[in-house]
């Protein structure tokens, strides 16, 4: 099987479609906060300042975060290059855990007695993204349509 076929192949199932849609709906508003300042966000300038202060990483990586969360989430919703965007999310959220949330432990800060949030939410994102990397985009996806088109020729 050619690399292109491996990337586009998806199982004919609705479960992957549901995972893909909900993952996109959870991630996209975070990208919109960073890119446009929507949903109470601070826009690119505010995000870049906070990103560099919290992580100590270069600003270009902050733009990569925005692209993954905004463009990647839209592509997930459409089912376009799902394995690529799934891997990107896995890398992003593993990096978020390692650079920000690991010292705060596993659990979210429900009672307000920690210095920050734990990483349980991030593990859920990684798990959902990994399911898409393994299984593909599912039904109603651009990937499925492109894979089916390729088989006709």
Q: Using one digit for the tens of pLDDT, what is the confidence trace for 22-65?
A: 999 999 999 999 999 999 999 999 999 999 988 888 889 999 99
Structure tokens that stand for 38 in this block:
């929507």
Tell me, what's the pLDDT at 3?
80
Torsion-angle region of residue 92: left (phi > 0), alpha (psi -120 to 50) or beta?
A: alpha
Residues with Cβ within 8 Å of residue 152, at least 6 apart in sequence: none
* Element spanning 12, H or E: none
Residues 76-101: pLDDT tens digits? 999 999 999 999 999 999 999 999 99
Would you say 138 and 14 are in contact if contact means Cβ atoms under 8 Å apart? yes
**Average pLDDT score, the chain:** 92
How many CB atoms are located within 10 Å of the residue 120 CB?
Answer: 12
How many CB atoms are located within 10 Å of the residue 17 CB?
Answer: 17
pTM to 2 decimal places: 0.91
Confidence of residue 149 (pLDDT cuts 50, 70, 90): confident
């Amino acid at each position: 099987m050619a690399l292109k076929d491996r990337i586009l192949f998806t199982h004919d199932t609705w479960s992957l479609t549901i995972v893909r849609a909900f993952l996109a709906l959870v991630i996209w508003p975070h990208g919109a906060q960073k890119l446009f300042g929507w949903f109470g966000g601070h826009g690119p300038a505010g995000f870049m300042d906070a990103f560099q202060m919290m992580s100590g990483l270069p600003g270009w990586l902050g733009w990569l975060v925005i692209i993954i969360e905004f463009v990647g989430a839209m592509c997930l919703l459409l089912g376009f290059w799902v394995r690529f965007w799934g891997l990107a999310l896995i890398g992003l959220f593993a990096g978020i855990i390692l650079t920000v949330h690991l010292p705060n432990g596993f659990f979210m800060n429900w009672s307000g007695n920690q210095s920050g949030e734990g990483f349980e939410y991030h593990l859920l994102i990684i798990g959902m993204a990994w399911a898409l990397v393994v299984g593909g985009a599912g039904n109603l996806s651009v990937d499925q349509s492109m894979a089916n088109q390729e088989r006709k020729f």
